[in-house]
């Protein structure tokens, strides 16, 4: 089965359960690492749950048990794979438009495919997002306008 299809089936199976249990799906991926396949599911709390609503190991176990049983019943994956359910973490990747919107006003780290103004990595506050480009203000108050197509990776910065 195609990678997209596996993640689409997993997401479809999960949606009603996550809604009922007070979780939201952050991201899914079906990837091959070495000779092993991994179905990774990242869950979070809805934004309206507030910043104190963290995902714990019990939450991941609950979702994993449900999804494992649902996938066994639906049997959408031809090859052997490992199922992993976790939080996206403090340094969560920004992948979808809603991830960027939720990160507005927060410190982010961006890696570009190609350097821009001599930099390939930029850190700054995510000041704006219009669906196709972001605006970062770095520590020197420089304004960076970056197209999403220029960004290889973006993550929330972990500030200690």
Of the candidates 44, 47, 22, the one whose C-alpha atom is nearest the C-alpha of residue 102 is: 47
Domain extents for the chain?
3-86, 97-156
Return the CATH fold of 3-86: GMP Synthetase; Chain A, domain 3 (3.30.300)
| Single pTM value for the model | 0.86
How does residue 47 score in pLDDT terms, banded at 50, 70 and 90? confident
Tell me the per-residue pLDDT of 147-157, one tens digit each, with 9 for 90 and over.
Answer: 999 999 999 99
Cβ neighbours of residue 15 closer than 8 Å, sequence gap 6 or more: 25
The per-residue pLDDT of the chain, averaged, comes to 93
Write out the DSSP string of 4-36. Answer: HHHHHHHHHHHHHHHHHHT-EEEEEEEEEETTE
Instruction: Write the CATH number of the domain with boundaries 97-156.
Output: 2.30.30.180
Between 34-38, 53-57, 110-114, the lowest mean confidence (pLDDT) is in 53-57
Whether residue 51 is predicted with pLDDT greater than 60 in this model: the reply is no
Of the candidates 39, 121, 45, the one whose C-alpha atom is nearest the C-alpha of residue 81 is: 39
């Amino acid at each position: 089965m195609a990678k997209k299809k596996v993640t689409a089936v997993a997401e479809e199976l999960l949606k009603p359960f996550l809604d009922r249990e007070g979780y939201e799906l952050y991201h899914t991926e079906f990837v091959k690492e070495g000779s092993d396949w991994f179905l990774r599911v990242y869950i979070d709390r809805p934004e309206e749950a507030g910043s104190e609503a963290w995902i714990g190991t019990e939450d991941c176990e609950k979702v994993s048990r449900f999804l494992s049983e649902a996938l066994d019943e639906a049997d959408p994956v031809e090859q052997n794979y490992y199922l992993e359910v976790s939080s996206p973490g403090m340094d969560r990747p920004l992948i979808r438009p809603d991830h960027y919107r939720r990160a507005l006003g927060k410190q982010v780290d961006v890696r570009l495919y190609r350097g821009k103004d001599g930099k390939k990595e930029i850190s700054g506050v995510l000041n704006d997002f219009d669906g196709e480009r972001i605006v970062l203000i770095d520590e020197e108050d420089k304004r960076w306008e970056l197209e999403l197509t220029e960004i290889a990776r973006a993550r929330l910065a972990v500030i200690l």
